[in-house]
Amino acid sequence: MENHPKIALVGNPNSGKSSLFNQLTGLNQKVGNFAGVTVDKKTGSCRLSDAQTAEIIDLPGTYSLYPKSPDEQLVSDILLNAKDAWHPDLVVVVVDTTNLKRNLLLFSQVQDLHLPVILVLNMMDVARQSGLRVDLAALRQSLNATVIATNARTGEGISELKREIVSWTNRKPADIFTDNPDFASELTRGIREKFGLPNDYVAAQYAHHAKNARFLANGDKEWIGNLSEKYGFQPQQWQAKETLARFEQIRKIVSSAILKPATLPENALTKQLDKILLHRVWGFAVFLAILFLIFQAIFAWAQYPMDVIDNGIAQLKGWLHVVLPPSVLVDLLTDGLIAGIGGVVIFIPQIAILFAFISILEETGYMARVVFIMDRIMRVFGLNGKSVVPLISGVACAVPAIMATRSIDNRKDRLITIFVTPLMSCSARIPIFTILVALVVPDRTWLGVFNWQGVALMGLYLLGFLSAIFSAWILKILLHRKGRSFFVMEMPDYKMPRWQNVGLTIIEKVRAFVLEAGKIIVAISIVLWVLASYGPGNAMQTAETATRRNLAALPAAELGKHVAAARLQASYAGHFGKFIEPAIAPLGYDWKIGIALITSFAAREVFVGTISTIYSIGTDDNDTTTIKERLRTETNPRTGKAMFTPAVSFSLLIFYVFAMMCMSTLAVVHRETKGWTWPIIQLVYMTALAYAAAFVTYQVLK
């Protein structure tokens, strides 16, 4: 403990707190979850000196100790609860120097919590450029605190900060910032005594947070509630009074410590850029262009690394089959485990590219502008300007997209966004779409420019997007709004992105995807392998013998494929397919497609693998032309004609536009909504939608 202090980073959003965290910890950081809450816990270790390391926690950005979201609640919970595992030994409050007045509110509150505090004046470079000069000595004296100037972008001041942290053991909690007589009362004295708190302000915070604080036992909450009632405690009025009193004091401090100018001139670059980016025509045009660029990157550029991964996995499988003796375990390893891992790894390029874009847009400050120009439109559908990012992310993968809804503080808006995000066609649907589209849509151009297949693909994405918007609108009508939502949001000045932050975000998101979605995809792949490899009794063996006897005349390779198909039909998976056939027959599907429907629930990309196994084209999942040719020649045993008619193919395409994407999505919805109600409603709704739409498609086109 002595040589391993816990340090909390606290600050306003956009204060450069995360940059400072990255400077202090580099790659030694972990992202986890706090027990019981879905708030990212970013922690890391920092080497202070040869002898000392510190544990650093990057707490969510907040403007005050009065939380409006679960993220902000966490800050109060950790700072107020001395027994919390992350209760810090020292708090580093990071402030944006160019906006000292507003930022000092939080600092003054933290200082009054009786914790050792260091104030970090960040973004000194921007402040200096705009002609702002801060008298550090005067500020130190009037705040009675350690003040360090840094520039987290360049690393300036970081070693000084580390030196100050090293001497943390000598540090006493600073004197109280606002010695407001209102802080002390019969009420706070009572609470202080009962919980052994260091001062009246902390006690007042207990009274204020009694309802929502996670660390108070129900009995204690009730006790505080009763006492508050007895003394007529009015939390809102109290908070307003406190805020005004603090700003009154801050105003005096700032005016004496900031030499010139009194108010900062507007950032000229920001003003010019906003004229274009918030313009009623150019604003939307630029946003659409950026969207187009993101799509282009996800679908076209990501293809190269994805092909490399794909080939690598196929070669690894082939190599293992060669070097290892044939056995059930080797099959499990190659066709179950490695195939499953391959299905996860293949999406890393798309996720990395998507989050590179999102992180750059956030770092530069442009994301706040997207929220600003889109809010009015999104509100019509019960969404919110902040729903735009999750919806865009949903095009790559719904799992990180649903995690990105955490930035929406209103519960209803957030639920609606979570609910409709899986309707955005994710990248895992691309293999299905491309094969089926290639099968039924001619590869010709329209008007000389548009490729028909491309148009069809875009139509499918549009259909997904429109269904998301429409579903949101229905939910808006059905759901009751609980609690008020505020849109009040800071519009930060434009900045160059810090590439270290972008890089770390990409690593963090890819890691989250591989761990969250990956676990489930790999597990399901293994289960599927078992279901497809074993059957009741010796049914599979019987089927194999029968096939070998009947088709003995065929060449060995051809025979092998027929045997594989016969075995699959006799397996548990085959029985499943047969079992659901009556239910999917109205959509035009047979039991073979039935198997693929079931297996693809694990993850959409499994569809292609399953189809290739069922239609017995060996294990080469990646050769889409082969699969396409094979599907084209597949005949319907009842009609004797081609199985994959346009009606069946379109019905399948439509089904996959609407159907619930995968188990990992359900798992993440369960985690984010803290219950099974929403994932189940979502599954039922999307399945019903998919079934109805596919039914109509098939019956109309038949």
Partner 1 sequence: MALHPDKTVADMAIGQTATIVRLGDEELSLKLLEMGCLPGETLMLQHIAPLGDPVCIRVSGYNLSLRKAEAATILVRVMDSDTDNGVATNSIVSILPKPVTVA
In sign, the C-alpha dihedral spanning 228, 231, 236, 241 is: negative
Contact between 252 and 143 under an 8 Å Cβ cutoff? The reply is: no
Q: Does 260 contact partner 1 by CB under 8 A?
A: no
Stretch that binds partner 1, among 261-269, 355-363, 449-457, 694-702 (CB under 8 A): 261-269
Q: Does 268 contact partner 1 by CB under 8 A?
A: no
**Binding residues with partner 1: total (CB under 8 A):** 44
Determine if residue 530 is left, alpha or beta; phi over 0 gives left, psi from -120 to 50 gives alpha, anything else beta.
alpha
Give the angle subtended at the CA of 134 by the CAs of 19 and 250, to the nearest 5°.
90
Among 270, 434, 500, 619, binds partner 1 (CB under 8 A): 270
- From the CB of 137, what's the least distance to partner 1, in Å? 23
* Interatomic CA distance for residues 532 and 656, integer angstroms: 22
Residues 6+ apart with CB under 8 A from 266: none
Among 301, 319, 446, 487, binds partner 1 (CB under 8 A): 487
Q: Does 184 contact partner 1 by CB under 8 A?
A: no
Among 86, 223, 247, 695, binds partner 1 (CB under 8 A): 247
Pick out residues in 432-471 that bind partner 1 (CB under 8 A).
Answer: none
Stretch that binds partner 1, among 71-79, 134-142, 483-491, 568-576 (CB under 8 A): 483-491
Residues 6+ apart with CB under 8 A from 242: 178, 180, 182, 183
- In this structure, what are the phi and psi dihedrals at residue 283, rounded to the nearest 5 degrees? -55, -50
How many angstroms separate the most distant Cα atoms in the chain?
A: 99
Q: Does 290 contact partner 1 by CB under 8 A?
A: no
Q: Residue 210 or residue 352: which is nearer to partner 1 going by CB?
A: 210
Stretch that binds partner 1, among 170-178, 204-212, 485-493, 507-515 (CB under 8 A): 485-493
- From the CB of 270, what's the least distance to partner 1, in Å? 8
Determine if residue 494 is left, alpha or beta; phi over 0 gives left, psi from -120 to 50 gives alpha, anything else beta.
beta
Q: How far is CA 179 from the centre of its chain?
A: 42
* Interatomic CA distance for residues 75 and 56, integer angstroms: 14
CA dihedral 465, 507, 357, 674 (to 10 degrees): 30
- From the CB of 288, what's the least distance to partner 1, in Å? 13
Q: Residue 365 or residue 518: which is nearer to partner 1 going by CB?
A: 365
Q: Does 249 contact partner 1 by CB under 8 A?
A: no
Q: Does 181 contact partner 1 by CB under 8 A?
A: no
Tokens of 231: 């003394």
Contact between 554 and 562 under an 8 Å Cβ cutoff? The reply is: yes
Q: Does 178 contact partner 1 by CB under 8 A?
A: no
* Interatomic CA distance for residues 94 and 123, integer angstroms: 10
Pick out residues in 51-110 that bind partner 1 (CB under 8 A).
Answer: 63-64, 66, 68, 98-99, 101-102, 105
Among 124, 373, 441, 472, binds partner 1 (CB under 8 A): 373
Stretch that binds partner 1, among 211-219, 277-285, 447-455, 534-542 (CB under 8 A): 277-285
Pick out residues in 382-411 that bind partner 1 (CB under 8 A).
Answer: 385
Among 52, 53, 239, 624, binds partner 1 (CB under 8 A): 239
Contact between 657 and 459 under an 8 Å Cβ cutoff? The reply is: no
Q: Residue 376 or residue 444: which is nearer to partner 1 going by CB?
A: 376
Q: What is the DSSP string of 158-186?
A: HHHHHHHHHGGGGPPPPPPS---GGG-SH
- From the CB of 264, what's the least distance to partner 1, in Å? 5
Burial of 370 (0-12, 13-18, 19+ CB in 10 A): buried
Among 27, 136, 137, 240, binds partner 1 (CB under 8 A): 240
Residues 6+ apart with CB under 8 A from 677: none
Pick out residues in 493-512 that bind partner 1 (CB under 8 A).
Answer: 493
Pick out residues in 143-162 that bind partner 1 (CB under 8 A).
Answer: none
- From the CB of 145, what's the least distance to partner 1, in Å? 20
Contact between 485 and 386 under an 8 Å Cβ cutoff? The reply is: no
Q: Residue 168 or residue 284: which is nearer to partner 1 going by CB?
A: 284
Q: Does 486 contact partner 1 by CB under 8 A?
A: yes
Q: What is the DSSP string of 185-216?
A: SHHHHHHHHHHT-SSHHHHHHHHHHTTT-SSS
* Interatomic CA distance for residues 107 and 99, integer angstroms: 13
Q: Find where tokens 């995360």 sit.
A: 18
Q: Residue 243 or residue 303: which is nearer to partner 1 going by CB?
A: 243
Q: Does 622 contact partner 1 by CB under 8 A?
A: no
- From the CB of 275, what's the least distance to partner 1, in Å? 9
- From the CB of 492, what's the least distance to partner 1, in Å? 8
Q: How far is CA 186 from the centre of its chain?
A: 46
Q: Residue 236 or residue 639: which is nearer to partner 1 going by CB?
A: 236
Which positions touch partner 1 (CB under 8 A)?
Answer: 63-64, 66, 68, 98-99, 101-102, 105, 236-237, 239-241, 243-244, 247, 263-264, 266, 270, 274, 278-280, 283-284, 368, 371-373, 375-377, 385, 484, 486-493
